[in-house]
Amino acid sequence: MIKVVIFDIDGTLVDHLGAQQAALAGLYEMLEEAKRVSFDEFAATWQREAERYMEQYLAGNITFVQQRLLRVKAVYESLGEWATDERAMIVFRNYLATYEGSWQLYDDVLPCLDSLDGYRLAVVSNGDSGQQRRKLERTGIASRFESVVISGDLDVSKPHPDIFGTSLRELGVPAEEAVYVGDDLESDALGATGVGMRAVWLAREGCAGDPADLSVPVVASLSQVEKVLTTFR
| For residue 161, cis peptide bond before it (omega within 30 degrees of 0) | no
Give the per-residue pLDDT at 206.
77
Q: Which domains does the chain have, with CATH numbers?
A: 4-14+104-230 (3.40.50.1000), 16-101 (1.10.150.240)
pLDDT of residue 213: 57
Going residue by residue through the chain, which has 233 residues, state the pLDDT in tens, using 9 for 90 and above: 999 999 999 999 999 999 999 999 999 999 998 889 999 999 999 999 999 999 999 889 999 999 999 999 999 999 999 999 999 999 999 999 999 999 999 999 999 999 999 999 999 999 999 999 999 999 999 999 999 999 999 989 999 999 999 999 999 999 999 999 999 999 999 999 999 999 999 999 876 655 555 789 999 999 999 999 999 96
The pLDDT, as a whole number, for residue 209 is 57
CA atoms lying within 13 Å on the CB side of residue 159: 18
